[in-house]
């Protein structure tokens, strides 16, 4: 199949998914022109396929509307950016394009957009797709996209991926340049914001993450760390040290979520992993308490000072240090992404992020992996796999092994 035919198929799929409200901008002519260019290179290359030198040759991708794509508006949710069209790609987008990917759409950066309206859940339009990488997760959840880029400061990739049935990866902070991500405020203040892949499979997450990782000479917070290809051989799981999170303080997960976590851990133990009890701090939700106290005051107290901000950052650091030390004693942590399946549409609340925020504060890698369906609602259930910072390959390897095991059961 030609690249042009694949792009046409992707555009038709987006048309069919228009009622989701997941797309905020697209340029079909530009996407088809890029496809034609790849096809021409293929035809001139004396029988050697472009795919031999381009890992993503002809693959279509979608991109969250907080990430710059040349020629397409990047407005985010800010009225001050209405009509803004960037002149250059974000580093992550440029790297995927160099690997042969073709951008077909920009996607909703929230479940409710001030200009573009509401983004719906792909399986039930009455439910929330989560956020803020809402459009990405919704398109992948309905099959209209197979690979995209989102961003995550406290769960904004992992939560919508969990609710929509996609695979969503928050890389280690500093692994992927955030050059070209808007707004820049979050990572200037606390370094939590990361760009990461959302996809239909762990394999696509792994491939895209290896392509976008590494310094770009612009983002000073990006480290020269290499991501090796993860092993998906279950024999490599023997002796793996696993910690499990099944409930936390007043935010205990629903039965279907708890059961999915237990099942994932049981599968790993069956492959030879070792469950380490009492490895983690007793109350991961402390990170939510710290954060909510600060944002509540910031929203209502015009007298908030630099001293208050300093205290907030110190509180975050103390919590992150405790969790980092605890995580170092194990190889992976398996737990919920979110307490329950996608709810009926409502504003997102702080407690929706009680299981994702801790790993943002430590800068650790974490992935949301589909783990079945809730029997009562039919909605996707997910588990979260996290590890110590820079152990992204371990997270992906365990996710790939679980993905295969879950598919076989």
**Residues known to be catalytic:** 64, 132, 156
Closest by CA to 168, choosing from 342, 329, 399, is 399
Q: Is 150 helix (H, G, I), strand (E, B) or coil?
A: strand
d(CA 368, CA 395): 10
Helix axes 255-270, 392-408, angle to 10 degrees: 100
Cβ atoms within 10 Å, residue 55: 16
Judge contact between 106 and 76, C-beta under 8 A.
no
Kind and range of the H or E run holding 242? strand 241-244
- Is the bond into 183 cis (omega within 30 degrees of 0)? yes
Q: Does residue 359 come out as left (phi exceeding 0), alpha (psi in the -120 to 50 range) or beta?
A: alpha
DSSP assignment of 147-161 equals EEEEEESSSTTHHHH
Q: Is 104 helix (H, G, I), strand (E, B) or coil?
A: strand
**Dihedral, CA of residue 88, residue 175, residue 365 and residue 358, to nearest 10:** -80
3-state secondary structure of 46: coil
SS3 string, 300-359, reads HCCCCCHHHHHHHHHHHHHHHHHHHHHHCCCCEEEEECCCCCCCECCCCCHHHHCCCHHH
Query: Rounded to whole angstroms, how far apart are CA atoms 131 and 135?
Result: 8
The count of residues in the chain is 409
What's the chain's Rg over C-alpha atoms? 20
């Amino acid at each position: 199949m030609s690249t042009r035919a694949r792009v046409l198929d992707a555009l038709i799929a987006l048309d069919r998914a228009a009622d989701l409200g997941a797309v905020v901008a697209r340029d079909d002519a530009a996407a088809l022109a890029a496809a034609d260019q790849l096809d021409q290179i293929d035809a001139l290359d004396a029988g050697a396929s472009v795919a031999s030198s381009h890992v993503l040759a002809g693959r279509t991708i979608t991109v969250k509307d907080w990430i710059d794509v040349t020629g397409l508006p990047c407005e985010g949710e800010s009225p001050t950016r209405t009509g803004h069209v960037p002149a250059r790609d974000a580093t992550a987008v440029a790297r995927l394009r160099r690997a042969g990917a073709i951008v077909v759409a920009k996607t909703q950066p929230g479940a409710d957009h001030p200009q573009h309206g509401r983004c719906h859940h792909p399986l039930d339009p009455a439910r929330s797709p989560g956020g803020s990488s809402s459009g990405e997760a919704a398109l992948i959840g309905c099959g209209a996209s197979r690979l995209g880029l989102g961003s995550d400061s406290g769960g904004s990739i992992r939560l919508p991926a969990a609710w929509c049935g996609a695979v969503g990866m928050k890389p280690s902070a500093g692994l992927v340049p955030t050059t070209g991500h808007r707004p820049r405020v979050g990572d200037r203040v606390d370094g939590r914001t990361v760009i990461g892949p959302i996809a239909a499979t762990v394999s696509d997450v792994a491939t895209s993450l290896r392509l976008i990782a590494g310094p770009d000479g612009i983002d000073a917070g990006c480290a020269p760390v290499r991501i090796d290809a993860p092993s998906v051989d279950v024999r490599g799981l023997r002796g793996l040290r696993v910690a499990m999170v099944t409930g936390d303080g007043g935010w205990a997960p629903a039965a279907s979520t708890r059961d999915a976590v237990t099942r994932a851990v049981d599968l790993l133990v069956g492959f030879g992993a070792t469950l380490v009890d009492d490895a983690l701090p007793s109350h991961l939700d402390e990170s939510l308490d710290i954060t909510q106290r600060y944002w509540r005051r910031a929203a209502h107290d015009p007298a908030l000072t630099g001293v208050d901000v300093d205290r907030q950052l110190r509180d975050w650091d103390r919590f992150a240090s405790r969790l980092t030390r605890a995580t170092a004693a194990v190889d992976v942590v398996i737990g919920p992404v979110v307490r329950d399946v996608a709810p009926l549409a409502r504003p997102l609340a702080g407690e929706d992020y009680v299981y994702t925020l801790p790993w943002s504060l430590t800068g650790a890698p974490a992935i949301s992996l589909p783990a079945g369906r809730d029997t009562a609602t039919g909605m996707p259930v997910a588990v979260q796999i996290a590890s110590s910072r820079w152990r992204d390959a371990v997270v992906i390897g365990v996710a790939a092994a679980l993905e295969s095991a879950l598919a076989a059961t």
